[in-house]
Every structure is written in structure tokens, then in C-alpha cells.
């Protein structure tokens, strides 16, 4: 990369910081920039430089938005009684790509991860509890949709306990659920790991 | 992506146009931009928007540069008598990452590819011939380092014939060589394709 002209080198350096992009790919991508129309590059550059000033977190669910309240929370067709708790905005996006869920969300922006020094107070769990306390009887169900890995399970468990306390103290009646786990659609039993198979057996259904 | 705020969506759209980056990766990368310091984003943006005005092609070898003549051509330590002909600047970068070659280059910016309507006059072959004609006796060797695929071989063959003509007409004495082909270092015979094996047999050395 030392043979790149400075401006190309700087672009490659920046791209190399992105996740999953190594030096070779960064070089290749930086070069590809040269083949794009100048107008598109300038437009992209203006979006990048304004990104941080434009993007805020939704006051209600902490999704990213350019307004005070995100499109999902301000959509009158969404069911405000069901809140799905996800780790990251990208998890929310996964639910939203299919037309599979009509409720609203709460984004934690992280998961409890003691090995990386991320404690419960470092992610937005308190905001969730405040929200439930404020919305009170209007909340009917909270779906815990953290990832099915060690940190995700610990986070779900921690939130469940906090919510149960809140339910008891405020005499609320919402239910707490966790996403169903088992074999993914199209999976091959031969390649399934035993943790997934155990979940698939535990969660078996009458047929 | 329709659930992204506009500025994030625009960034993801742009990234999706880059080679090897699909929708999911583009989304993930756009999100990662949010985690970077604003100063770095603005710096990156300024490099991107100025890229096309800053970058030019070296007058001698057509490498990318911000000056009139690139760092390699203006380096007094490089051997100007040997010219390696490559398809793309990234090929040149590959040679330059190791300290393996001390000569100079000529970048074709493409290869002859009739199926994609790229004729010899669409790439910088004439510039190479002009250069050799101008430098005359100072050229001692031209290494044809186009890729060992069908178009690369056709390009090498075309250039070889043109150079031979030039040699004859101008009574020049430079030699024309082609990169050596065979098994790559660390290769496994079991997985080698027969074309590579054929080259490895043809190019076998006394041992």
C-alpha cells in the first residue's frame, strides 16, 4: 500500500478498519472508487461526513433515526402492546425484512459480556425498565430476542429477572417470552450441532 | 434496508455497488460507520470527494499518482532498462509488496477481451509501443506479466508480435520474456489443475 498515491492510500486505510475487510480487499475497493463517477463519490462523501450529526436514537425504542421518534414507533399500524428486545439495530432490520412481526422494538445496543467488561448498566436495560414502568398496563408481551449465544442468554436471563421484579412491584400482567430455538428451515441434520439438536428435541411439537 | 434512516440507507446503497459486497454486508458496514469518530468520517469523506481530481496517470508508465510522474518512474534506484507490462495497477502493487523487482512498469489498464468488446486499441498498448520507440536502445528487456488466463495470454501474444515488429523495423535488441508458470509455492499437487501441472512439467528445472 506504500506505493499508493496518498489519497488512495488514505481511503484504503479507512476501509481496512471496517469489519471483515483485510488489506487486499481494502486496496481493491479503494481502486474501485476510481472507476465510479465523481458525482457519486461526492454524494457518498457528503452522506458520510454528515452521518453522525443526522443520525440519532429514537426516544422510545433506541432504533436509529433522523427524527425524534423512529418510523416504526410512529407507525399507527404497529401493535404497541408487544415489545421485542434486540441486541442491535441490525437484528431489528432482520425482523423487518420479512413481513413477520407487527409489534415494536427495544434496542439494547449491546449485550452483557463480563469478559469484555460490558456490565448491565452499559447497555440500555434501564431504558427498557423505565419504558415498561411508564407504559404500564399498555404492555402485553415482551419478547426477549437476544442472540442464542452465551452472552445473549445471560442478557435475556438478567432482563427477565428485572422484568419479573417490576411486574410484581407494579402488579403488571404482561408476559415475558423468548424466541423459539430449534433447527433452522432448510437445515441438514447431519451438520446440526448438538446444542441446536437439544433445543429441537426440547421444543418438539405435536404432529 | 427500507427501515434505515435516509443517510444510512444512502451509505449502504453506495457500499453495495462495490465488488464483493452484498446487501447484508453493506448494511453491516454502514452501521459500523456510526461507531467511528466523526473526525475520521469527515477526513475519509474529504479524501473520497477529492479522489478523482487528485489522482492522475503517470506520464511514463500509466501507474496512478498525484504527480506527473509516479514514485517508481522517478526513483533513481530503479532499473529503467527493464519494463514489466501488467494489466492493472493492483498487479503492480502485488510485485511491489515484496522487494522482488527493481525495474519499472507499464500498466495496460485492461486486457484484450473480444467477448466484452475490449479491442487492442481500448487498452494502453500503443503507449507502450510509443515508449519503447522513444526510449530505443535504453530498453533491454520487456517482461509480459499479464494474467495466465485466456485474455491475458491473448494480450501477451498480441503485444509480443507488435514488439517483434518494432524490434525489426528499428533494429532494436531488447528481449521479450513472459512470467514463469508452474506450481505456486505451498501448493498441493492433489488439488492442482491440469493446466498448471502441464506448465510445471514444461518448465521443469535441472535439480
User: With an 8 Å Cβ cutoff, are B44 and A41 in contact?
Assistant: no
Q: Mean of the per-residue pLDDT values for chain B?
A: 91
> Which pLDDT score, from 0 to 100, does residue A1 have?
52
pLDDT digits (tens, 9 = 90+) for A163-189: 999 999 999 999 999 988 888 888 888
Percent of chain B clearing pLDDT 70 (strictly above): 99
Q: How far is CA A16 from CA A13, A30, A83, A135, B11, in A?
A: 5, 10, 37, 44, 17
Q: Is B160 exposed, middle or buried (0-12, 13-18, 19+ CB in 10 A)?
A: middle
The minimum CA-CA distance between A35 and chain B, rounded to whole Å, is 9
> Which pLDDT score, from 0 to 100, does residue B206 have?
79
> Which pLDDT score, from 0 to 100, does residue B32 have?
92
Q: Which domains does chain B have, with CATH numbers?
A: 6-54 (1.10.8.420), 57-178 (3.40.1360.10)
> Which pLDDT score, from 0 to 100, does residue A181 have?
85
- Is a pLDDT exceeding 90 seen at residue B44? yes
Cell 533494429 locates to B171
Interface with chain B: mutation pick from A2, A11, A36, A48, highest number of B CBs within 10 Å: A48
Closest residue in B to A47 (Cα) is: B7
A18 contacts on B by Cβ (under 8 Å): 29, 32
- Name which of B144, B148, B73, B62 is nearest B108 in CA terms: B62
pLDDT digits (tens, 9 = 90+) for B175-207: 999 988 888 888 888 888 888 888 888 888 878
> Which pLDDT score, from 0 to 100, does residue B1 have?
52
The reply to whether the predicted model has a pTM over 0.80 is no
Count the neighbouring beta carbons within 10 Å of the beta carbon of residue A120: 16
**What is the ipTM for the molecules in this complex?**
0.76
Of B1, B46, B90, the CB nearest to A28: B90
What does the pLDDT average to over B48-70? 94
For residue A188, give the DSSP letter. Answer: -
- Is a pLDDT exceeding 90 seen at residue B128? yes
Element (H, E) at A57: strand A56-57
In this prediction, the residues of chain A whose per-residue pLDDT falls under 70 are: 1-2
A48 contacts on B by Cβ (under 8 Å): 11, 33, 41-42, 44-45, 48
Count of alpha carbons within 13 Å of A67, Cβ hemisphere only? 12
Element (H, E) at B27: helix B23-34
Alpha carbon distance, N-terminus to C-terminus of chain B: 60
Amino acid at each position: 500500500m506504500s506505493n499508493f498515491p496518498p489519497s488512495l492510500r488514505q481511503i484504503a486505510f479507512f476501509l481496512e478498519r471496517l469489519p471483515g475487510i483485510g488489506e487486499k480487499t481494502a486496496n481493491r475497493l479503494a481502486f474501485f472508487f476510481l472507476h465510479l463517477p465523481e458525482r457519486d463519490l461526492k454524494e457518498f462523501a457528503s452522506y458520510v461526513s454528515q452521518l453522525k450529526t443526522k443520525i440519532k436514537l429514537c426516544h422510545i425504542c433506541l432504533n436509529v433515526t433522523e427524527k425524534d421518534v423512529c418510523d416504526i414507533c410512529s407507525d399507527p399500524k404497529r401493535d404497541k402492546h408487544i415489545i421485542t428486545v434486540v441486541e442491535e439495530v441490525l437484528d431489528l432490520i432482520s425482523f423487518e425484512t420479512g413481513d413477520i412481526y407487527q409489534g415494536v422494538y427495544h434496542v439494547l445496543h449491546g449485550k452483557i459480556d463480563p469478559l469484555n467488561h460490558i456490565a448491565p448498566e452499559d447497555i440500555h436495560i434501564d431504558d427498557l425498565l423505565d419504558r415498561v414502568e411508564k407504559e404500564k398496563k399498555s404492555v402485553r408481551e415482551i419478547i426477549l430476542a437476544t442472540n442464542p449465544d452465551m452472552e445473549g442468554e445471560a442478557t435475556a436471563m438478567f432482563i427477565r429477572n428485572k422484568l419479573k421484579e417490576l411486574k410484581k412491584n407494579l402488579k403488571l400482567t404482561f408476559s415475558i417470552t423468548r424466541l423459539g430455538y430449534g433447527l433452522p428451515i432448510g437445515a441438514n441434520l447431519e451438520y446440526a450441532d448438538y446444542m441446536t439438536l437439544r433445543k429441537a428435541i426440547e421444543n418438539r411439537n405435536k404432529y
